[in-house]
Chain A
Amino acid sequence: MKILIIEDEKELANSVATFISQDGYVCNINNNFSEAEESINLNDYDCAIVDIMLPDGSGLDIIKLIKKIQPKCGVIVVSAKNSIDDKITGLNLGADDYITKPFHLSELNARIKSVIRRRNFDGKNQIIINELKIDVDKREVKVSNKIIDLTRKEFDILLFFISNKKRVITKEAITEHIWGDDSNTFDNLDFVYTHIKNLRKKLSEAGAKDYINSVYGVGYKFSVE
């Protein structure tokens, strides 16, 4: 998988690249409009992360270009302005998703995975990890071919974990992913723990391995050998 990161803030671009390349993705970083233009013309990408505000042009024009030259490439728009206009314009131009800066790397990663899955699995949006089989569209989880009954939030948490497997995910990132951007103002994030406890219980009762480990007070990690 090849990912193009178009972001003028170099350090942020590096962080994103480091985080997502763990899954074996190849990342190209472009810091401005002209570099990005060249990359799009030269290489094929599976997904592009496009910052709208670039020093020498608008990310919206990049989206147009990608859609013209590489219609198969997924696009995620990144904007520093929490502007609804940018979101609507971006999505109307054919972008697959929209994320506001600052974001959790795990959140961006989950969205990249989701875009790639939607674009590459030809309608059969499935993830298989050992005995776990997840049908993303049907929102169904099977352990050794036996359906287990998860609540909406438990399912979303599991999917978020799997998208970020082998990485530490913070409680804050989980909270914002499940309860929305505005939910992070709660001081006590114990409610996250309750859901994860239930999820782990349901998975292990169905005979799955316990993949979810807690990491000190920081968060959780979905470990797959």
Chain B
Amino acid sequence: MKLINKISRYYLINSVILFIIAFAEIYFTLNWIITDEIDEQLRIKNEEIKKRFYTGELVNDPPYIEITKVENVIKSTGEVTDTLIYFSSERESEPYHQIISFVHKDGNNYKLVVRTSLIEKEDLFYSLLIIFGITFASLVTILFFVNRKSTKDIFTPFYHNLNQLKNYSVKADTPLNLRDSKIEEFSELNSALYSLSEKAAKEYKALKEFSEDLSHELQTLVAVIKSKFELLLQKVGLDEESANNLQSAYHSLNKLDKLNRSLILLAKLESKDLFESDSIILNDIVNKVVENYRDIAETKNLKIDTNINSDLTIICNAPLIETVINNLISNSIKHNIENGNIDIKLSGNTLEIQNTGEPFTGNTDEFFNRFNKASKKSDSTGLGLAIVKKICDLYNYKIGYFYDHKYHKIKIYFK
């Protein structure tokens, strides 16, 4: 629910309660005043009618004046009492106030009833209801227009800023550009957001520089260690156990080297460094990589089928696109099963690489995330696909993964 609607709802609910209370107060007060007045009038009328009765000019005028001859006289109290009179013409009863008194004239006893209608009270109720109704309707209408206007005036900059925030990224160099507001709360929010975003961007940059520096420092150290290992391996007279230990340490070092190189490349891709572009014939690259890995695939008895019927030329950086093809094809070998298949299809603008393999157990949406290893195989750095995705993003190539009928399928759509 929008803030303005929420506020309006509170406002309306409270208004309704207030209106009901005000209505009741006004109605009962007016009612009391009017009834009192009516009764006063009734008493005066009663006295007047008594006088006129003695002079003999009075006639029956039901239901307002009723004169009946009676045998017995009851002592009249002169009190005002309530009564309902039924009108057969309108088939309903109407409320009246009456005073009953007994008079004596020419040796006869008479009962004298003077009445007055209370129908005004009902009129009062309906009049009040109409007045309140109109006022309430006006209030709602005004509220509606006020909301519309304030949404435009107050919330347009707010929504503009919200949109800016949604699109903001600490990775991008563009700072936040918020619209000023004369409203104190909003302008405070803006300044808080500015300082937050500046801090975040600064810290992100520092962290990025740190990891880049770290990677480069590591690279030099790895280079030294690697060279020393190679010298150690030259030593004649190493026993088998030492050689094996040395070999496995050396193997891990190579993996560390690979991981570090991947991180450096990822950092470069993320910082959107400029990469030199060339016109590349994609099928040349695909064929080159396939031929390079065919023998490796054969040791696993994998069958590679290439189906290329497109001479797609793309403009991009050659080493980067080679990395993409290389990572995808080496993955299709690594995560394959014995006697499996790899099908590579290039048609139109689409490259499709599919291979047999154990199903991917993770979330498909996270398939291209870093360190999201498809299997527990220790030989994957977990960065190969993240690099592929980043390169595709760089050139706006669409890439997708799905698993279907025992095949892992990766599709790249080159624009």
A positions within 8 Å CB-CB of B: 9, 11-12, 15-16, 18-19, 80-82, 84-85, 88, 101-106, 153, 167-168, 170, 172-173, 179-180, 182-188, 190-191, 194-195, 215-219
B380 with A185: CB separation less than 8 A: yes
Known contacts A185-B381, A186-B379, A187-B377; is-contact A105 B216 (Cβ 8 Å): no
Tell me, in angstroms, the Cα distance from A162 to B261 when the chains sit together. Answer: 29
Residue on B nearest A216 in the bound complex, by CB: B243
Known contacts A102-B226, A185-B330, A219-B233; is-contact A9 B220 (Cβ 8 Å): yes
**Cross-chain pair count, CB within 8 angstroms:** 121
B275 with A180: CB separation less than 8 A: no
Residue on A nearest B240 in the bound complex, by CB: A216
B224 with A12: CB separation less than 8 A: yes
Within 8 A of A (CB), among B91-107: none
Known contacts A80-B216, A80-B219; is-contact A15 B224 (Cβ 8 Å): yes
* B244 contacts chain A at the CB level, 8 A cutoff: yes
Q: How far is the CB of B85 from the nearest CB of chain A, in Å?
A: 105
* B293 contacts chain A at the CB level, 8 A cutoff: yes
A185 with B334: CB separation less than 8 A: yes
A186 with B295: CB separation less than 8 A: no
Known contacts A186-B330, A216-B247; is-contact A104 B226 (Cβ 8 Å): yes
B292 with A179: CB separation less than 8 A: yes
7 interchain pairs (CB within 8 A)? A19-B227, A105-B230, A105-B231, A186-B330, A190-B299, A191-B296, A216-B247
Contacts A185-B379, A218-B246 known; list 17 others, CB within 8 Å: A9-B220, A9-B224, A11-B227, A15-B224, A15-B227, A84-B276, A102-B222, A102-B226, A183-B293, A183-B296, A184-B254, A185-B330, A185-B334, A186-B330, A191-B295, A215-B233, A216-B243
Cβ of A103: which chain B residues have Cβ within 8 Å of it?
A: 223, 226
B251 with A172: CB separation less than 8 A: yes
* B372 contacts chain A at the CB level, 8 A cutoff: no
A82 with B261: CB separation less than 8 A: yes
Within 8 A of A (CB), among B266-322: 275-276, 292-293, 295-296, 298-299, 317, 319
* B116 contacts chain A at the CB level, 8 A cutoff: no
Tell me, in angstroms, the Cα distance from A194 to B294 when the chains sit together. Answer: 13
Q: Which of B227, B254, B298, B319 contacts A172 (CB 8 A)?
A: B254
Known contacts A170-B230, A187-B377; is-contact A195 B254 (Cβ 8 Å): no
* B178 contacts chain A at the CB level, 8 A cutoff: no
Q: Which of B230, B299, B377 contacts A19 (CB 8 A)?
A: B230
Known contacts A82-B265, A101-B220, A185-B379; is-contact A180 B231 (Cβ 8 Å): no
Within 8 A of A (CB), among B37-53: none
Residue on A nearest B292 in the bound complex, by CB: A179
